[in-house]
Amino acid sequence: MRATDIKRLSLYLLFAPFALWILLLILLPHAGMMYISLREKVAPRVYEFGFENYINFFNEPIYWNTLIRTGSMSLLVTFLALLLGFPIAYYIAKIAGNRSRGALFLMCLIPLWVSDLIRAFGWILLLRETGVISSSLQWVGLIGTPIEFLYNDAAVIMGLVYTVILFMIVPLVSTLDGMDKSLIEAGYNLGGNGPTVLRRIIIPYAMPGIVAGCIVVFMLTAGSYLTPILLGGKNSSWFTEQIYDQFITRYNWESGAAFGFLLLAFTSIAVWLGLKLSGQTLNSTVADT
C-alpha cells in the first residue's frame, strides 16, 4: 500500500514541473495568441470576435506574397542544405578515418557554439562593398570598382544555408554511422554502379536522418529573423520581419498575432506533409537527434 502511494506521489511531483512548463509557457500563450488574433478592434479598447485580421492578410498581396516567398526560399534553403550537407555527412560517417572523423564532426559543430549574430556579422564583413572579397578581387585586379555582394537574395540564401547546414549534417551523420559498410559492398557486388547504390541503398537507409534534418532546417529557416535582415537589408521581405513590424513598429497586436499564427500553421503543415510523405513520425525523427 505504501509503495504505491509513494509511486503516485512521485509521479505527481515529477509531473508538476512538466505541466507548469508546457501549460504556462507553451499551451496558454498560444491559446492566448489565437484568441487575440480573432479579435477585431471596433473602437479604442472595444473588441469583437471575428476573422478580420486573417481576411486582411489575404486581401493584402504584400502580406501573403511575403509568406509564400519565405516558404519557397526556406524550401530552397532546405534543399540546398541537403544537397551540400549530404556528401559531407557521408564523408564523416563512412570515408574519413577514425581519427579525423571526430575532428571533422567537431568542426561541423563549431558554428553551433557561435551566435547567429556573429556569423551574420562575419558574412557582412566578407561580402559588403568595402568587404574582404570585394577588396581582394580589386587587389588581384579582377574588378575595377568595389562590388556590393550584400543585400540580395543570393546572399540571404547563402547565409541561411550556412546558418542551418549543421542541423542537416548532424542527424545525417548519426543515421549513416549506423549503416553497415557491407550493405554498400553488396550493392556493388550485385552489379550496381555508384548512382544506383546511392539511390537504392544509401538514401533509403538515411531517410530518417534526411527527414529529421529537413524538418529542423525548414523550421529554423522559416522562423529565422537575423540572417535575412542583416544580409538581405531593407527589401529582404521575410515573414518574421512582418510580424516584428506589426508588433513593435505599428503596435497592432491583433494582426501581429494573426501573422504569428499563420506562420506557425504554415510551418506545421509543411512539417506534417514532410512526415506524411516520408512515412516518419515526429518522435522517431526530431527526438532522436
Partner 1 sequence: MASANSNKAFLTGYRVYVFAFFVFMAAPLVAAGSFAFNDSLFPSLPWQGFTFDWFFNDTEPKLGMFHDRRLLRGLYYSFVIATCVSILSVFVGTCNSFLFVRCQFPGKDFFYILMVLPLVIPGVILGISILLLASSLANGLEETLSLELEFLRPGIILVVLGQFSFITTITSLVIIARLRKFDDSMEEAAFNLGASRVRVLRTITLPFLFPAMAAAGIVAFLVSFENFNTTLFLVGSEAPLTITMYDRMVKVGSTPVLNAVSFFLMVGSALLALISVLVQRDAPKT
Residue 81 interacting with partner 1 (CB under 8 A): no
Q: Which is nearer to partner 1, 206 or 262 (CB)?
A: 262
Indicate the residue among 159 and 206 with the shorter CB distance to partner 1. Answer: 159
Between residues 32 and 178, which has the closer beta carbon with respect to partner 1? 32
Residues 21-40 contacting partner 1, CB under 8 A: 21-22, 25-30, 32-33, 36
Comparison of 15 and 58: residue with beta carbon closer to partner 1? 15
Restricting to residues 244-283, name those near partner 1 by CB under 8 A: 244, 247-248, 253, 256-257, 260, 263-264, 267, 271, 282-283
Distance CA 181, CA 202 (A): 10
Q: Which residues contact 286 (CB under 8 A, 6 or more apart)?
A: 212, 215, 216
Minimum distance from residue 183 beta carbon to partner 1 (Å): 19
Backbone angles phi, psi at 193, to 5 degrees: -100, 180
* The binder of partner 1 chosen from 225, 237, 252, 274 (CB under 8 A): 225
- Centre a 10 Å sphere on the Cβ of residue 257 and count the other Cβ atoms it contains: 23
Considering the rule CB under 8 A, would residue 118 count as an interface residue with partner 1? yes
Asked if residues 210 and 216 have their Cβ atoms less than 8 Å apart, the reply is: no
Min dist. Cβ of residue 72 to partner 1 (A): 17
Shortest distance, CB of residue 105 to partner 1, whole angstroms?
A: 11
Looking at residues 167 to 206 of the shown chain, list those that interact with partner 1 (rule: CB under 8 A).
none
* Closest distance of CB 73 from partner 1, Å: 15
Closer CB to partner 1, 1 or 110, in the complex: 110
CB 24 → partner 1: shortest distance, Å?
8
CB of 152 to partner 1, least distance (A): 17
Among 149, 150, 162, 172, binds partner 1 (CB under 8 A): 162
Euclidean distance between the first and the last CA atom of the chain, given in angstroms as a whole number: 40
| Contact status: 146 vs partner 1 (CB under 8 A) | no
Candidate list 69, 75, 119, 252; residue touching partner 1; CB under 8 A? 119
Q: Which stretch binds partner 1 (CB under 8 A): 49-57, 86-94, 178-186, 198-206?
A: 86-94
- The alpha carbon torsion through 264, 269, 275, 281 (nearest 10 deg) reads 50
